[in-house]
Structure 1
């Protein structure tokens, strides 16, 4: 069956192959242009040899002394400038330093390498003055926002999920579910590609820590170049990779209460031909948890309540190693691999009480759980990129990516009765889960006529998932499988896609149009009962983005895209955890994908020391998925169903204000109204609602080079088809101190300062009433980072100058 599956996809590929070849033949036709010269170098300060950030690199015409082109240095003091000019001097300048003019330089293979440029302080420069400049925490681009994690002090020792929770527009609830602008269906990428670390099975993102993350890209309206998966948009986590020449490295150590202990090491070696990069991380984290629930049968007037606590301990190791090999100035091959291994231990103790119609306790028992699991994860990638001589932005990129994930989990449950006639009981469950994914991509970028760019490419993704789940009861000293809860669920999904985009970018106005076509084939099978399902569908996903620069301080952007949200294993698998036998969540093998049309209008304003960004957006979703809960014998069972349409209209504002040199404020506010229409089993589920959230971050520069940060978050209450979810307010703190000229950074963070992050859901129906409350608690973490060689201390705690 698997080979037939590949054969069908190969036939589909042949249909589009001629289109791609035709386009490539046109794009690769020779176009004559002037030679482009590339300038590179590194600017440092004379006394400390530290890099100078934002130094000016200016090209001056030798005849007129007019500025021809220019750039500024990056955070590490390096710069790269491309020009077609041929008669110029090079000027390097920075406030408080003597200006250098370079007239004699050599050009080799269209490249000028100025190596290290040393700037000398002027006599007027005060010895104790420290020049500091930081890039904006959030940067807006045409089709995405970029959040620099290095500015978030409260992320010390945090996992990737906790980092995401501090990103504007992103919400991570206490269950670890990620939403974007209040909507589910978010695709998580690592370095622009899918990853087992971004899957929805287990605490996969937990092996990525804040010190490993460079930035997070939030793409609310992706173009056709991106995978169409994810109706709410894409979140792309960019992992750090240094390209400084020589040996560079940094190490970080975090300790926390409850356990948030980790060690990370990053080492890079850059030569003319190779860039070797590696990261190592290991640690242990503890997540305490308190839960309460009420199951009330309003027909028979009986109730079952529970309250308990649990502790989840996670030991993890993560190693990444890779190399960039530069064949020449225009061709590079990248080979990388990573391995992560988690060991999970969890215990839970839950007290249950059963009440009769007179509210008298009839039964009372303790349910004791011990769970152990191991999760190995493997990822490997081969990537080849070539840049073309005719234009600096013309490139061809091929990548092959493989991922493997396995979860072996075993749980034992003991029910011990203290009141009533219920017999003591034992129950156990076993999960053997395997995932294999392979993705092959080809992307080509072809600029022409200075202001135009064409992009085209293809992608083929293979996904194979198997989940072997079993539940057994101890009967007369013998373990007997519960056949109603035991089965092997297989999911095979293959997606073939091609896309083309065309863009025009003028001085004030820009336009980007795209079209993507995806063919999806899905097979599901319950092996024990031989229940199978098949789906085969082809969809077209258009996109359009435009921007207009009214003035230097005011710009407008508009965007449209069509998206799909294919059901994942957790939504399809009919079996789930039996931790609470009276509150069961299961999947639906017959679930269909959601399709969303997304519209967005954004304005970007700058007012002196302040910047504001307003967004008005609308998402219209067909075959919208909602969880439907049924109730029988005091047991609630919820499963996802396609119930109809969802029309969501929202407004978002992001702002930054620097009223004083030592104070900066960052804020985000998001409000959306939704109108859902549909039916399930002839029952209407039409309803309207609203949800809003806001956050405010204040950063203060204190004496003795201390930095302090406080962030307040609020999420409003909201309604789903059957549930009411309570509001939530919590505060995070961060404190940072740099020593040894920035080589060592000390960090202290407190997340959920008042332990106020409580998740409460209520379901009120004519026949039953459900209430569930869950709380995590406060986390305090202290971290120390050290940069060696030419490296810097890990910059989750801020930039140097």
Structure 2
């Protein structure tokens, strides 16, 4: 792609950084901490509860999941469901305060498996045992990518400790066939630290979907009803491995590298029954699906501590490659089992290559003040291939029109950013500005040619903090966010979902832009933490699903830009203890959502009020016994053409510490088998109700065995991962 003024400016910045004067704001690495003096703790408030520590900072809240029993036996999706403000539905879709535009990072870095269509599968199949904290950053500073209209969720992994020689063995099993094993460990000697992890997991994920569609026949004027039921039986299997190395080249510089490999398989069976509006309109379909993917990624970092306190230069690089293949074989029988069969074979292929890099530099500007400069590159190329065949027999299959196609997607983003921090007595101020040049090209490989787009935009941010007293603080922030359409959003071709449903993207989509404002209050005393946050987010050109009927009861879901939407509300969090043995963690979010149309199939705007709530209680009657009971409720989510109702679930867990090495664990997920969601679509042409049910009650049992010694924790640098930008001291 062609060069630009921004690309040239980025090159000048890279050349000038090594020659800059002695400056200084230290930046902690994504997965390691350089040899440095321990940093003062003035910038964070740590509250210790029986279940989790809460770290409150001006731009985020950080929640420990060390004592979340569901996370210890479950997946990343289970861990996120217990985080205030975060929702994960039965399909693995993540939203933050009702906004599905969420960027998920691992140690502050993007990952290929947490982008696009593969994210839901990854979250629902990956164990959460490696994660130590979950950080919710609703208004990130300019040092972060503005991607994600709702904000950022960062998964912070467990850190190595200096002088450690340890290993941990874990095993889980369930009554429904779930099984998993994991081994991790680390060893340090001198300036060298080597860590690694191996894991395997297999678990079923069954479900049921009921769809009822009502429309008016254009020829007869009569109301027609189509009912579709589907039962799925899926089995996920995944293996993974990771090797990390850190080496202190000198007392002031560190080189680190981390390579990860992951393979996963999905085997599924699905039975569909479709009843049409007329007697005898019956279609039965059975299908088998099989497929899998593999991913390899490398992350490297070089860190140099320059003369003076809080003076550092950091360079990071990330390379990843991911491939995914899945095939569907189906048999459809009109009229039921006695009907003549029709055979189908549908295939999907996906290949992604990503490259990222970041250079970050910090310096002090005097007492309580600092400057942070940086450049960031993010580039990816994805190739997609789809094929479909249908016929009266397996040896007589013919291509299906519209389902055999290929396309590629390329995107490159260059960014320059600067943030500065000022301390004015009780007031702390951090303004920031980010300049990005984004280029993307989608090539459908047809005579019509490729579609290209390029834009340069500014993203301002500002964070303020004010100390009312030693126990109370105010914080306010503003940031401009963006939600870029992904490759599948831009896909111009039909994608097969099932006989009644197809999807197609829109290559002319533009990015969604959001202006986000927040005002928060925090109170801490003893072991209690309480916060209240008011938020307002105004978005334009939001990318969303639009559903239209193609005829014969077949629906097509496409993507479009909405005109505007607004979301505003409050979020409350309480964390504390009743006495010495009983702890509580409570949170609730209440918000109002408004959507204004932009010439779509609905004539007037839509609005609604919704929210979610969580409650978790922990009881530790002895030093060896730990009980946990939790409940989660998700309210109605407004959609452009309807809404989606959630529901409530109850979870429970028990941990028994046998000795300092061995612990046993038992958990019950969805104890009342109440997990379900209801989606209602109401357009000018038809109405549809979709009821989705989860696998029901799940009982899991776990065992953890520790070897060796953990050593002493390295000096904490204040923020676990922030690659650029600095916290406002509190």
C-alpha contact (below 8 Å) 1:157/1:260 kept by paired residues: no
Q: Distance in 2 between matches of 1:773 and 1:683?
A: 23
Q: Distance in 2 between matches of 1:376 and 1:154?
A: 27
State the secondary structure of the residue aligned to 1:497: strand
Quote the residue 1:664 is aligned against.
Answer: 583
C-alpha contact (below 8 Å) 2:353/2:381 kept by paired residues: yes
Q: Distance in 1 between matches of 2:369 and 2:623?
A: 51
1:471 aligns to 2:388 (yes or no): yes
Quote the residue 1:435 is aligned against.
Answer: 352
1:170 to 86, 109, 127: 86
Q: Quick check: 723-732 or 197-206, which moved more?
A: 197-206
Shift in CA distance, 82/622, structure 1 to aligned 2, threshold 3 Å: closer
1:689 aligns to 2:608 (yes or no): yes
Q: How far 1:297 sits from its partner (Å)?
A: 2.2
Quote the residue 2:597 is aligned against.
Answer: 678
State the secondary structure of the residue aligned to 1:204: helix
1:52-92 deviations in Å (ceiling 9; x for gaps): xxxxxxxxxxxxxxxxxxxxxxxxxx997479xxxxxxxxx
Quote the residue 1:141 is aligned against.
Answer: 57
Matches within 5 A, 1:572-587: 572-575=490-493, 578-587=496-505
State the secondary structure of the residue aligned to 1:210: coil
Q: Distance in 2 between matches of 1:79 and 1:590?
A: 49
Quote the residue 1:56 is aligned against.
Answer: none
Larger Rg: 1
Shift in CA distance, 478/79, structure 1 to aligned 2, threshold 3 Å: same
C-alpha contact (below 8 Å) 2:92/2:124 kept by paired residues: no
Q: How far 1:576 sits from its partner (Å)?
A: 6.1
C-alpha contact (below 8 Å) 1:597/1:621 kept by paired residues: yes
Q: How far 1:687 sits from its partner (Å)?
A: 1.8
Q: Which runs of 5+ in 1 are unaligned?
A: 37-77, 84-131, 793-801
Quote the residue 1:452 is aligned against.
Answer: 369
Q: How far 1:606 sits from its partner (Å)?
A: 2.8
Q: Distance in 2 between matches of 1:709 and 1:263?
A: 23
Q: Distance in 2 between matches of 1:468 and 1:620?
A: 37
Shift in CA distance, 751/273, structure 1 to aligned 2, threshold 3 Å: same
Quote the residue 2:223 is aligned against.
Answer: 301
Q: Distance in 1 between matches of 2:257 and 2:463?
A: 34
Q: Which runs of 5+ in 2 are unaligned?
A: 27-34, 41-47, 712-730
Q: How far 1:354 sits from its partner (Å)?
A: 1.7
Quote the residue 1:492 is aligned against.
Answer: 410
Normalising to structure 1: TM-score of the pair? Answer: 0.82
Matches within 5 A, 1:254-273: 254-273=172-191
Q: Distance in 2 between matches of 1:662 and 1:774?
A: 39
Normalising to structure 2: TM-score of the pair? Answer: 0.90
1:324 aligns to 2:236 (yes or no): no
1:208-236 deviations in Å (ceiling 9; x for gaps): 31211111111000000001111110111
Quote the residue 2:699 is aligned against.
Answer: 780
C-alpha contact (below 8 Å) 2:372/2:418 kept by paired residues: yes
Q: How far 1:296 sits from its partner (Å)?
A: 2.2
Q: How far 1:13 sits from its partner (Å)?
A: 1.9
Shift in CA distance, 515/574, structure 1 to aligned 2, threshold 3 Å: same
1:395 aligns to 2:304 (yes or no): no
C-alpha contact (below 8 Å) 1:362/1:420 kept by paired residues: no
Shift in CA distance, 251/215, structure 1 to aligned 2, threshold 3 Å: same
Q: Distance in 1 between matches of 2:602 and 2:680?
A: 20
1:349 to 271, 286, 311: 271
Quote the residue 2:555 is aligned against.
Answer: 636
Q: How far 1:715 sits from its partner (Å)?
A: 1.2
Q: Distance in 1 between matches of 2:165 and 2:94?
A: 37
Of structures 1 and 2, the one scoring higher in RCO (CA 8 A, sep 6+) is 2
2:639 to 710, 716, 720: 720
Q: How far 1:527 sits from its partner (Å)?
A: 1.6
Q: Distance in 2 between matches of 1:289 and 1:165?
A: 19
C-alpha contact (below 8 Å) 1:154/1:709 kept by paired residues: no
Quote the residue 1:14 is aligned against.
Answer: 8
Quote the residue 1:204 is aligned against.
Answer: 122
Quote the residue 2:543 is aligned against.
Answer: 625
C-alpha contact (below 8 Å) 1:207/1:318 kept by paired residues: no
C-alpha contact (below 8 Å) 2:51/2:68 kept by paired residues: no
Q: Distance in 2 between matches of 1:661 and 1:522?
A: 57
Q: Distance in 2 between matches of 1:668 and 1:147?
A: 12
Q: Distance in 1 between matches of 2:494 and 2:469?
A: 55
Matches within 5 A, 1:196-235: 196-202=112-118, 203-206=121-124, 208-235=126-153
